[in-house]
Amino acid sequence: MQKEIHEQPRAVADTLEAVIDGGIDVEGLFGEGATAALRDASAVLVLASGTSYYAGLVARFWMESIAKLPCGVELGHEYRYRDSIPDPRQLVVTISQSGETLDTLEALKRAKQLGHANTLSICNVRESAIPRASRFRYYTRAGMEIGVASTKAFTTQLVSLFTLTLAIAKAKGRLDAAAEAAAIEQLRFVPGSIQHALNLEPQIQGWAERFAAREHALFLGRGLHYPVALEGALKLKEISYIHAEAYAAGELKHGPLALVDSSMPVVVIAPNDALLEKVKSNMQEVSARGGELYVFADLDSHFTESEGVHVIRTPRHMGSLSPIVHAIPVQLLAYHTALRRGTDVDKPRNLAKSVTVE
């Protein structure tokens, strides 16, 4: 897992290679007929499971703010068994690292039965079942991922979903040449920023020593960083077996605040985005109950350490791409906490890398 975490600058650079070199060439990237399908899409419906589902939750923000297209995100196993109102003009996007997850594959089949012809798969394994069953496909280039807890597959999914967002915007005439060039310039910096985040490892190891002695943890984030909080909690529970839950920070007062006392570490993803002041007031709610805060904040967030407030500075704020960079420290925190607890990081109990049963 540690090797795979550290491969992320390379994996993301490889996944972005075609975009950096050739721009948003919609047909070249997504396949013949993609321009018309993306141009005519009335909405996006993302279907996925686990970490891939969290990638979809990040993409929802991008789809609605950049491509200006409504976007729903649903767990495959929920979607396949409920009545839904199909819209044949919706683009159905499945996200799967393995391409074999039964819940996602069956959800895709269900969408097709309901009349969805425009299906697009984002996948790390060529010719696996989900991309084969999709009209369009886009392969992440993470290389083989062996650790059960997904790391480099997640960040390569995110840059692929950002690319898809730009492609939809372009197909719809909502991305002019200057905006496309600016977005590609932003993407060019991502591998370097990931490396910068990886360099925080020694500081995160210090936090992990404290986490290893705990049995519960809360993760908070808002907006684009709420899915990063979800992913951080998932990583921690998957490999260290610490009970971790994530909340959109505004939800704290509606229940989880009752759990906060001095024995509950609270991890906050708090970069300098539009919601920072809101997050800061949520953090005060934690401090007032004696909770200990562990804050990942970028250079522009202006946090200072104080009693019960620990801060690790992440790279300079990356705008919309910030969740990609903030995925790294939560992976490292889970990894080092698990290592200190002596669990089998690569093969956690009760879990499988590819879940091909229901």
Q: Which residues bind ligand G6P (CB under 6 A)?
A: 49-52, 96-98, 101, 104, 148-150, 351, 353-355
CA distances from 277 to 71, 81, 222, 252 (A): 27, 40, 11, 15
Shortest distance in whole angstroms from residue 145 CB to ligand G6P: 9
Nearer to ligand G6P, 122 or 171 (CB): 122
For the bound state, the minimum distance from the C-beta of residue 51 to ligand G6P, rounded and expressed in Å, comes to: 3
- Cβ nearer to ligand G6P, comparing 238 with 292: 238
Tell me the closest approach of the beta carbon of residue 347 to ligand G6P, in angstroms: 10
Other CB atoms within a 10 A radius of the CB of residue 120 amount to 25
Residue 200 DSSP one-character state? T
Q: Closer to ligand G6P at the Cβ: 129 or 242?
A: 129
Rounded to whole angstroms, the Cα distance separating 298 from 311 reads 10
Least separation in angstroms between residue 7's CB and ligand G6P is 16
Q: 22: how many CB neighbours lie within 10 A of its CB?
A: 11
Q: Which residue is nearest to ligand G6P (CB)?
A: 50
CA distances from 247 to 14, 79, 94 (A): 33, 23, 24
Q: Which of 273, 229, 270, 274 is nearest to 248 (CA)?
A: 229
> Residues near 317 by Cβ (< 8 Å), separated by ≥ 6?
271, 272, 273, 298, 299, 300, 301
Q: How far is the CB of 349 from ligand G6P (least distance, A)?
A: 12
Give the integer Cα–Cα distance in Å for 315 and 325: 8
Determine contact, residues 238/65, Cβ cutoff 8 Å: no
Q: Shortest approach of ligand G6P to residue 241 CB, angstroms?
A: 14
Q: Within 13 Å, how many C-alpha atoms sit on residue 25's CB side?
A: 12
Nearest to ligand G6P of 51, 282 (CB atom): 51
Q: Which is nearer to ligand G6P, 41 or 108 (CB)?
A: 108
